[in-house]
Amino acid sequence: MSVTERVQGEWHPQTEKERGQVREQLGKILASAHFQNSRRYPGLLRYVVEQTLEGKEAELKERLLGIEVFHRAADYDTNQDPVVRLSAAEVRKRIALYYQQADHQGELVIGLNPGSYVPYFLPPAEENATTETPVAAEGPAGTERRVWRKLAPGFSLAAILVVGAAAGWLGWRHVAPMHAADRFWAPIVDRQERVTLCVGTHEPGNAADASPPTPQALYGQAAGQGAVGETSAVSSSLEEEIAHSAQLGASNVVALIHVGADLESRQRAFRMVLASQATFPELHEGPVVLVAALDNIWTVRLTQALRYGFGMSGEEMFILDHKNPGARRWQVSLAEPTASHAVDYAILARYDDATLGQPVVILAGLASEGTEAASEVLSNSDLLGSIFRNAPGHWAGRNFEAVLQTEVLYGHPGPSRIVAVEYW
C-alpha cells in the first residue's frame, strides 16, 4: 500500500507529554471490548502507533509489519498471505466502532489511514473546532484521496465515525453517497433469511462438469459463539481461518471481508460456503452473494441468463455480451502471468434470480484482481454511486448489471471504471 494524503487537521505530537497523551488514548482503545479479547489486532495497532511516535512511520510497510508483528519469514509472499492487509482492515473497523460509542465522544482520535499503515492523530474535539469530514475520491483501490468539507455546527466527531463504521472498514466516507450503498443492499438486508456467501475455490479439474457434493459450511463453530457465518465476517477467529484457507485466493479473501463488513454493519446474518460444495437447495434458502467467476460454477451458470456473462476460449477468458456475442471487448489472456495483466474486467450485479427465486449479488472478475476490484467498488460509496449516477428512476427496486474495468498495478487492482450498465 502506498501512503495517502494526510488527514486535514492531523495533530503531530511534539513533546513527551503529548506523546504520553497518545499512549494513554491507545491504552483506552486497546482495553475496550473491541480489542481486549484479540491478540492480533492490538499488536498491530500498538506497533504502528509506537513507530510513528518515534518518527519511524516511513518503515511501516506491509512486508516489515508481517515480519515484525506477525512473525512471518523475511521472504514470505504478501500476495498469498495477506495477514497485514486483512488485520489493518479489521483495526480500522474496530477503531470506528470504538469512537461510535457516545461515551468516547470528544476523545483524542487515533486512526489508521486507508491506503497505508501509518496512523494519524486528531486532538480532542473541544480543541479542534474546525473538524471536517472527508470524502473518498475516485482513485486506485487502496490509495484513496480525501477531499474535506466543513461540517455543519453541532455535527460531532462521533457522528463522523458512525458514518465510517456504517461504510465498512475502508475508512471515512461522505454522508450523502452512503445512501447508494444502503439502497444497493436493501433487497438483501430487508429479507429475513440468512445470506449465503458462495465463494469460488482454486481446485484441480473442471468443477463445472461435476455435480456439486453435499454442502458444507466453510467454517464451523467458533468458541463461545454460534455459527461463525451468523456472527462476524471479520471476527478474529474467522479472519484467521479465511486467510489460511488453501482453497481461497487472496483476492477472494479480500472480497469476502468487504462483503462481510457490509452485511455485519447492517446486522444481517450470513454464512459462507465453497462454490464447489454449494447445492441448489442451499442457495434457494435465502439471498446469495456470488464471489469470483471462472472458479465459481454458480456464477458461470447464473450469468448465462443475464446480458453479460463469462466465457473461455482456449487461453482467453472474456465477458460475453449476449446481445452482441461476436464482440469480445473485455478479455484477459491466461497465457500472460498474473502480474503482467495490464487490465482486468469484472461484473458487479444485483438482481432477482428466477432460477433460485432469491435476490443475488455478483462480484466476479475474469482474473482475481477483477473480483477484488468489484468488492472495492461495492465498499466505496463514491464509486458505487457513480454506477447509478445516470440510472433510471427508482433504480433501487430494479435489477442491474455493470461491467467494470480495472487497471492492474503490480498484481493488485488499481483504478476502476464502469464500461457498461444494464437495468431491467
Q: What is the pLDDT of residues 330-354, one digit of tens each?
A: 988 866 655 555 889 999 999 999 9
pLDDT for position 174: 34
Domain annotation covers residue 6: no
Q: Per-residue pLDDT for 207 more than 60?
A: no
Residues 129 and 186 in one domain: no
pLDDT for position 410: 64
Cβ pair 144, 182 in contact under 8 A: no
Q: Which among 171, 168, 90 is positioned nearest to 134, based on CA atoms?
A: 171
Q: Which among 90, 136, 62 is positioned nearest to 383, based on CA atoms?
A: 136
Predicted confidence (pLDDT) per residue in 231-260, tens digit: 333 344 345 445 445 467 778 888 888 888
Q: Per-residue pLDDT for 27 more than 50?
A: yes
The residue out of 129, 148, 174 marking a domain boundary is: 174
Percent of the chain predicted with pLDDT > 90: 28
Domain annotation covers residue 344: yes
Residues 223 and 107 in one domain: no
Domain annotation covers residue 11: no
Residues 271 and 375 in one domain: yes
Residues 21 and 161 in one domain: yes
pLDDT for position 105: 81
Half-sphere exposure of 339 (CA within 13 A, CB side): 2
C-alpha distances (whole Å) from 411 to each of 267, 333, 369 are 33, 15, 7
The residue out of 174, 198, 225 marking a domain boundary is: 174
Take residue 385 and report the three cell numbers written for it: 454511486
Sequential DSSP letters for 328-351 = --EEEETTS-GGG-SEEEEEEEEE
pLDDT for position 368: 86
Domain annotation covers residue 4: no
The residue out of 153, 174, 195 marking a domain boundary is: 174
Residues 153 and 289 in one domain: no
More confident residue, 288 or 416: 288
Q: How many domains does the chain have?
A: 2
Confidence of residue 411 (pLDDT cuts 50, 70, 90): low
Q: Per-residue pLDDT for 261 more than 60?
A: yes
Residues 153 and 98 in one domain: yes
Question: What's 385-400 look like in SS3?
Answer: HHHCCCCCCCHHHCCE
Residues 321 and 342 in one domain: yes
Domain annotation covers residue 343: yes
Predicted confidence (pLDDT) per residue in 74-96, tens digit: 988 887 788 888 788 788 878 88
pTM score:
0.55
Residues 85 and 150 in one domain: yes
C-alpha distances (whole Å) from 113 to each of 5, 60, 87, 154, 239 are 9, 12, 13, 25, 21
Q: Is 58 exposed, middle or buried (0-12, 13-18, 19+ CB in 10 A)?
A: exposed
pLDDT for position 202: 60
Predicted confidence (pLDDT) per residue in 33-60, tens digit: 888 877 788 999 999 999 999 999 889 9
Take residue 125 and report the three cell numbers written for it: 474535539
C-alpha span between 166 and 155 (Å, rounded): 17
Residues 133 and 189 in one domain: no
C-alpha span between 421 and 308 (Å, rounded): 9
pLDDT for position 353: 94
Mean pLDDT for the chain? 74
pLDDT for position 242: 52
pLDDT for position 205: 38
Sequential DSSP letters for 230-279 = GS-TT-HHHHHHHHT-TTS-HHHHHHHHHHHHHHHHTT--EEEEEGGG--
Region 164-176 average pLDDT: 36
Residues 347 and 409 in one domain: yes
3-state SS assignment for residue 187: helix
Helices 236-243 and 250-265 sit at what angle, rounded to 10 degrees? 160
C-alpha span between 158 and 423 (Å, rounded): 37
Q: Show Cβ contacts of residue 254 under 8 Å, excluding neighbours closer than 6 positions.
A: 82, 85, 86, 372, 375
What is the extent of the structural domain holding 398?
181-423
Domain annotation covers residue 111: yes
- Of the listed ranges 2-11, 53-62, 192-201, 353-362, the least confidently predicted one is 2-11
Residues 358 and 324 in one domain: yes
Q: Is the dihedral of CA 182, 185, 190, 195 positive or negative?
A: negative
Domain annotation covers residue 359: yes
Domain annotation covers residue 114: yes
pLDDT for position 140: 34
Region 135-140 average pLDDT: 35
Take residue 243 and report the three cell numbers written for it: 486467510
Q: Which residues are registered as beta bridge partners of 132?
A: 150
Q: Per-residue pLDDT for 159 more than 60?
A: no
The gap from C-alpha 302 to its chain's centroid, in whole angstroms, comes to 23
Residues 214 and 329 in one domain: yes
